[in-house]
Amino acid sequence: MPIPIPDYSRLQATKIHKAFAYELSVRPRQSAVLYSQPSVYFQPCKITRIECFRFDRELSASLLRGTGSDAICGLLVISTHSGAYGLKGFAFASSTMTTDFALWASLFQRMKGLSLIESLDYVQSKEEAWGPLRAETMAAAVMDLAVKLGQPSGNTELSEPLDRAYLFEHAQAYVSF
């Protein structure tokens, strides 16, 4: 069972905190927009890198302040050859992790090289096997990437680079495909 993610607006405004606290209320509308766009626009855009960060206890405690739970928190990052990336933070009870983190993340490996629409179709086809948390996490990251690709290039908030040093400093585990 996923852990509810509280409002983190009072925390330091970093990309990680923003991605972790991102609201999914507009996702259904964005999904419809992605499928209504000409496939010519999204077809050449393929996923070239998938990264999963599992945060250490310090950052996890910061993100889940006040919930009093032992949880696994992390960040999923998917990238394209153009440098655009989609983010989605996740949190779930540590008791639900039945395998190690690398095995948990390895199911995403087959998505490398797929277009955005193919990726969403693949996630939908694997939702039952993956479970709702993993499927929702990947679908949200793909939608975040699609939204960023559809924005004007002058939008500086969307084009800011990730603070990779901060991510690696607080990563208990890291998996990349």
CATH number, position 85: 3.30.390.10
Query: Is 135 part of any domain?
Result: yes
| Domains: count for the chain | 1
The letter for the amino acid at 11 is: L
The residue with greater pLDDT, 127 or 70, is 127
| Domain assignment of residue 156, yes or no | yes
User: Residue 35 pLDDT more than 60?
Assistant: no
Instruction: Answer with the residue of higher pLDDT: 16 or 135.
Output: 135
Q: Which residue has the tokens 């310090």?
A: 58
- The residue that leads in pLDDT, 146 or 22, is 146
Gap between the terminal Cα atoms of the chain? 27
Q: Which ranges in the chain belong to alpha helices (H)? A: 15-20, 27-36, 39-42, 57-63, 101-106, 116-130, 132-150, 156-159, 164-169
Residue 154 lies in a domain: yes
Percent of the chain exceeding pLDDT 70 equals: 68
48 token code pair = 């070239």
Does the residue 104 lie in any domain? Answer: yes
Residue 3: the pLDDT is 47
Choice between 87 and 22, residue whose per-residue pLDDT is larger: 87
**pTM assigned to the model:** 0.73
Count of CA atoms in the C-beta half-sphere (13 A) of 99: 8
The reply to whether 83 falls in a domain is yes
Give the range of the structural domain holding residue 70, as residue numbers without chain letter. Answer: 15-176
Residues 148/158, Cβ–Cβ less than 8 Å? yes
Name the residue with higher pLDDT: 98 or 84.
Answer: 84
Model confidence band, residue 21 (pLDDT cutoffs 50, 70, 90): very low
* d(C-alpha 91, C-alpha 57), whole Å: 12
Residue whose token pair is 């006040």: 66
Q: Does a structural domain hold residue 3?
A: no
Band of the pLDDT at 68, cuts 50, 70, 90? low
Chain centroid, CA 82 distance in Å: 18
121-141 average pLDDT score:
94
Residue closest to 167 by CA, chosen among 48, 85, 68, 70: 85
43, 84, 9, 14: CA torsion to nearest 10: 160
Under the banding of pLDDT at 50, 70 and 90, the label for residue 66 is low
5 in a structural domain: no
Residue 1 lies in a domain: no
